[in-house]
Homo-oligomer: A and B are copies of this chain.
Amino acid sequence: MTNNTTETKMLLAVDCIIFGFDGENLKILLIKRGFEPEKDKWSLMGGFIKANESLDEAANKILLQLTGLNGVYLEQLYAFGDPARDPDERIVSVAYFALIDIHKYETQLSDRYHAEWFLVNEMPGLVFDHGQMVEIAKQKIRYKAALHPLLFELLPRKFTIPQLQSLYEGVYNTKIDNRNFIRKLTSTGLLIKLEEKDKSNSKKGAFYFKLDKKKYKAKFQAFLNFIPNPENLIS
């Protein structure tokens, strides 16, 4: 770093890409922008970073404001800094994505921000580079969820395997063989079968499961490839 006295200060923002799962489809929460520029267009929820706030704090605050939720999955995605990304002013934005249980979302907050859930595949155009942010978030989720049980963050406390399969099929836009899917899932040991059945989708009913949270945390990072035994690495 060189001497900084002549350097330009600029605004720093955080934008949140919020995903939810309604039991059938992956959705994204957008707000109708209430001010210029681009007033009344759809947008991600965001905000400026205060002088004494960390990036994570800012992102959590925004998420709390819009959803009423605390302590949900939130991950820094990427910093967007094209000088032309906001036509008015130089603003660098650090994007975060969140995965929430859509049922915990506090619906009454929708009004305040004119928020709405959209199917990710039927999303309106967004302001500035927010569309690009969403694309990168989707890519990241597809990548990470192929290796780690990330999508479980979207599930309610109890869920059925057909629901989970529908989630994976939606995220990857593909059909999955249900026998193999179940085998893979149960072999992870992450699921605990409950007595209760969900009969809303079939007459037979599908058993609910819940997540074994200890195993989930322990196994989240497990994966495989170029290196023979990645879990046995020395350091």
Bound: A62/B145 CA distance, A: 34
Judging by beta carbons under 8 Å apart, are A10 and B10 in contact? yes
Contacting A51 at CB < 8 Å: which of B12, B82, B90, B168?
B90
Judging by beta carbons under 8 Å apart, are A168 and B226 in contact? yes
Bound: A162/B175 CA distance, A: 42
CB distance from A83 to the nearest CB of B (A): 5
Contacts of A1 in B (CB 8 A): 13, 33, 35, 43, 46-48
Q: A168-B227, A173-B235 are in contact. Are A12 and B12 (CB under 8 A)?
A: yes
- The 4 lowest CB-CB distance pairs between A and B, nearest first, are A55-B81, A9-B9, A7-B48, A8-B51
Q: In this assembly, does A52 line the interface, its C-beta being within 8 Å of a C-beta of chain B?
A: yes
Interface centre among A2, A56, A89 (most CB of B within 10 A): A2
Q: In this assembly, does A189 line the interface, its C-beta being within 8 Å of a C-beta of chain B?
A: no
Q: In this assembly, does A200 line the interface, its C-beta being within 8 Å of a C-beta of chain B?
A: no
- Copies of the protein in its oligomer: 2
Judging by beta carbons under 8 Å apart, are A146 and B230 in contact? yes
Bound: A177/B234 CA distance, A: 15
0/1 string, A33-74, CB within 8 A of B gives 1: 101000000010011111111111000000000000000000
Q: In this assembly, does A220 line the interface, its C-beta being within 8 Å of a C-beta of chain B?
A: no
0/1 string, A78-91, CB within 8 A of B gives 1: 11111100000110
Contacts of A56 in B (CB 8 A): 81
29 CB contacts below 8 A, A to B, read: A2-B48, A4-B11, A4-B48, A7-B50, A8-B48, A8-B51, A10-B51, A49-B81, A49-B92, A51-B90, A54-B82, A55-B92, A76-B78, A146-B223, A146-B227, A147-B147, A147-B223, A147-B225, A168-B227, A172-B227, A173-B233, A173-B234, A174-B227, A174-B228, A174-B229, A174-B233, A176-B227, A176-B228, A180-B228
Contacts of A53 in B (CB 8 A): 83
Taking Cβ atoms with an 8 Å cutoff, the residues of A that contact B are 1-4, 7-13, 33, 35, 43, 46-56, 76, 78-83, 89-90, 92, 94, 145-148, 168, 172-174, 176-177, 180, 184, 223-230, 232-235
Interface centre among A46, A80, A232, A235 (most CB of B within 10 A): A235
Bound: A46/B235 CA distance, A: 28
